[in-house]
Each structure stands twice: as C-alpha cells, then as structure tokens.
C-alpha cells in the first residue's frame, strides 16, 4: 500500500514526522536507489527499498513502550554531538531502536516516554497531554501569587504537604515548564529542582532514577484511547515557525555624494581664478556656487555718500581733498 515517506519513516521509529520531512528535503532519503526530495512522495513499505542516510529501513514489527526515570544532567536524546551522557546510556538490555516522545530539560529529572511506534508518538504530540511536575522553589509562594501564576499560565499549582522545603505540584496542559519557570524567576522565586512525575495516565511512581520499565498492555490501551482524536472535534495543529537563515547586512561602501548645485558654473570660475593667480572661495570645490559678493564700501565712498556727516573723532566735517 502506498503511503507518504515521512509516515513510513516515523512508523519505523527512525525520527518523528517533522524530522522525517527535514531528512527528505535535505536529500538523505532514497527509494529504490533514487534520491527523493519532494514532499508528499509515496512508497510501498513492503516492496520498495527505502534508505535513510544510507541505511536500509527495516520497520520494527514488535512495538515497545518504555518509561524511564531520567536523572539530571542527561540530554533527552539518544546521542549527543558534544559527548554528554544521553538516554541510550541508561537503556541497558534494550535492543530495539526507540526514541523519546517530547523533551525534558538537561537539568530536570523524571519521567521520559520512549517508543518505536511513530503513529502513537505523533498522536501524543498533537494531543497535548497534561504533564505533572514537582518543583522545589527557593522561597514560599503566597496565595495571591499562586492565583496570579495560575491565571497567567493556566497551570494548577498546589503545595505538597509533609515536606519542609517548599515543594509544589504543578499540572500543565499546554504551557511549557520552562515558561512557568521563567515566570517564577521574574517574580523572585527561583526554581531549584524540577521533576516530572506524570504524563497523562503514565506515572513515575516508585521507579528508581536511571531505571526503566515496559508499559503493560492496559497502560498502552489507555494511552492510545486518550490520544485518539474525538469525532467531530478538530485538533488544533501546532503552528510551525519557519526560521529565516541569518544573512548579515552588507556594509555600506561609501555614502553617495550629493551633486553640487551650480558646479557647471563653478568650473570656469575656478579655471579663470587659477590663470589669474588668485583664489576664488565661492567657486572652490565642495562649495555651492553663489552670486559674487558686493564689494565693501571704502572710506572715500562713505565720505562721498555722506558729505554732511561730521568726523566721529574730531567733530569736524571731513576733508575730501585729502583723499584726492
């Protein structure tokens, strides 16, 4: 039966559907020796030879469902390019290829669900199952702060009784734990420890840190029923944000120079001034050419224009014959 490639890859437990689409677009998937990069391409799992990154796709016939109690300072992936400890270091005796559903922060501890059932993993991510955390805060929360946090994040917050340190049980439906932690930090209540104790009907209970166990058939059936979309109700799809590649802004080569007004008239004036051996300030390059300035009137011109004025120093009428 023909199916989409990303669905076949996800069901085989290699990657999620979104990651499978990235593998297809990057040219790492081949069908019968031909590279496939077009989204929506279909293949027959029983007849076609499908390879992902050069490895033949062999779908797992036996489904496996695991619960793991992750200790802190372990990445929630099966391998880490930086060489840190990963979930595969804790799955002793597990021969099937599995992958974690969802994520848990590096410094957090608690429940992690792993499987090779791609269809169930995809349904779980779409269903937004409620998750329960135990948070240890540095200081106590007041009733008013609890109400404000619940109103802002939609989380149900209650203090755990019987413990001296301020531990709180927080149940989140759609809000992420890091968003709540940031909100607590802004209000002056730093989170010291984070532990996830439940995802939907899956509970951590008395599982020791670093240990894992398989789910029972009843637990798998209950989980499958809880993530099935209800008839007549459309499940809201997650908004996929496409990140734009970073492109640095080009550095400006130089500022565009504005054309000099009247430059065509200033050039002949500069040439004439150079031939006469004088400097014309009004026609120098970089300055706007303007009309020639009126000459400053000399003392003789002033006297001739005002013959009846008295001399400012001696109080006598000027002597025009002196300047003849």
How sure is the predictor about 251, in pLDDT bands with cuts at 50, 70 and 90? low
Residue 117 lies in a domain: no
Residue 124 lies in a domain: no
Mean pLDDT over residues 240-251, rounded?
A: 63
Mean pLDDT over residues 274-302, rounded?
A: 55
Query: Which 3-state string (H, E, C) describes the chain?
Result: CEEEHHHHHHHCCCCCHHHHHHHHHCCCEEECCEECCCCCCEEECCCCCEEECCEECCCCCCCCEEEEEECCCCCCCCCCCCCCCCHHHCCCCCCCCCEEECCCCCCCEEEEEEECCHHHHHHHHHHCCCEEEEEEECCCCCHHHHHHHHHHHCCEEEECCCCCCCEEEEEECCCCHHHHHHHHHHCCCCEEEEEEEEECCEECCCCCCCCEEECCHHHHHHHHHHHCCCCCCCCCCCCCCCCCCCCCCCCCCCCCCCCCCCHHHHHHHHHHHHHHCCCCCCCCCCCCCCCCCCCCCCHHHHHHHCCCCCCCCCCCCCCHHHHC
Task: Count structural domains, the chain.
Answer: 1
Look over the chain and give the mean of its residue pLDDT values, rounded to a whole number: 78
Residue 9 lies in a domain: yes
Structure-block tokens of residue 273: 């001034």
* CA distances (Å), origin 256, targets 252, 253, 259: 10, 9, 9
> At 33, which CATH number?
3.10.290.10
> Could you tell me what percent of the chain has a pLDDT over 90?
22
Please say if the pLDDT value at position 15 is more than 90.
Answer: no
Tally of residues, the chain:
324
How sure is the predictor about 108, in pLDDT bands with cuts at 50, 70 and 90? very high
Residue 105 lies in a domain: no
**Does the CA dihedral 219-222-227-228 come out positive or negative?**
positive
Least confident stretch, 54-58, 150-154, 234-238, 253-257: 234-238
How sure is the predictor about 149, in pLDDT bands with cuts at 50, 70 and 90? confident
pLDDT tens per residue, range 158-217: 998 766 678 999 998 765 666 777 778 777 788 889 999 999 999 998 999 999 999 999
Residue 6 lies in a domain: yes
Domain of 45 in residue numbering reads as 1-59
Residue 47 lies in a domain: yes
How sure is the predictor about 283, in pLDDT bands with cuts at 50, 70 and 90? very low
Residue 29 lies in a domain: yes
How sure is the predictor about 276, in pLDDT bands with cuts at 50, 70 and 90? low
Residue 260 lies in a domain: no
Please say if the pLDDT value at position 244 is more than 70.
Answer: no
pLDDT at 133: 92
pLDDT at 324: 47
* Geometric angle at alpha carbon 223, from 222 and 225, rounded to 5°: 65
pLDDT at 215: 94
Give the separation between CA 15 and CA 307, rounded to whole angstroms: 107
Decide if 205 contacts 175 (C-beta within 8 A).
no
Dmax (CA) for the chain in angstroms is 131
């Amino acid at each position: 039966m023909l199916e989409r490639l990303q669905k076949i890859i996800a069901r085989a437990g290699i990657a999620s559907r979104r990651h499978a689409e990235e593998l297809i677009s990057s040219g790492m998937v081949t069908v019968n020796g031909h590279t496939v990069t077009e989204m929506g391409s279909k293949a027959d799992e029983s007849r076609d030879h499908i390879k992902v990154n050069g490895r033949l796709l062999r779908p797992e016939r036996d489904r496996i469902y695991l619960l793991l109690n992750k200790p802190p300072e372990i990445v929630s992936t099966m391998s880490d390019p930086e060489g840190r400890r990963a979930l595969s270091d804790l799955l002793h005796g597990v021969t099937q290829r599995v992958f974690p559903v969802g994520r848990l922060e590096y410094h957090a501890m608690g429940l992690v669900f792993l499987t090779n059932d791609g269809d169930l993993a995809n349904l779980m991510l779409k269903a937004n199952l409620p998750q329960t955390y135990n948070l240890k805060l540095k200081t106590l929360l007041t009733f008013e702060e609890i109400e404000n946090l619940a109103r802002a994040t939609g989380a149900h917050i209650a203090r755990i009784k019987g413990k001296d340190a301020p531990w709180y049980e927080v149940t989140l439906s759609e809000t992420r734990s890091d968003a709540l932690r940031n909100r607590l930090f802004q209000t002056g209540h730093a989170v010291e420890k984070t532990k996830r104790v439940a995802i939907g009907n899956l509970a951590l209970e008395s599982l020791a840190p670093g240990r894992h166990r398989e789910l029972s058939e009843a637990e798998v059936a209950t989980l499958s029923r809880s993530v099935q979309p209800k008839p007549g109700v459309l499940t809201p799809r997650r908004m996929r944000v496409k990140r734009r590649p970073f492109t640095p802004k080009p550095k400006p080569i130089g500022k565009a120079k504005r054309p000099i007004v009247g430059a065509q008239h200033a050039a002949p004036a500069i040439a004439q001034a150079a031939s006469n051996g004088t400097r014309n300030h009004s026609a120098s390059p970089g300055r706007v050419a303007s009309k020639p300035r009126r000459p400053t009137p000399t003392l003789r011109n002033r006297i001739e224009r005002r013959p009846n004025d008295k001399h400012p120093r001696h109080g006598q009428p000027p002597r025009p014959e002196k300047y003849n």
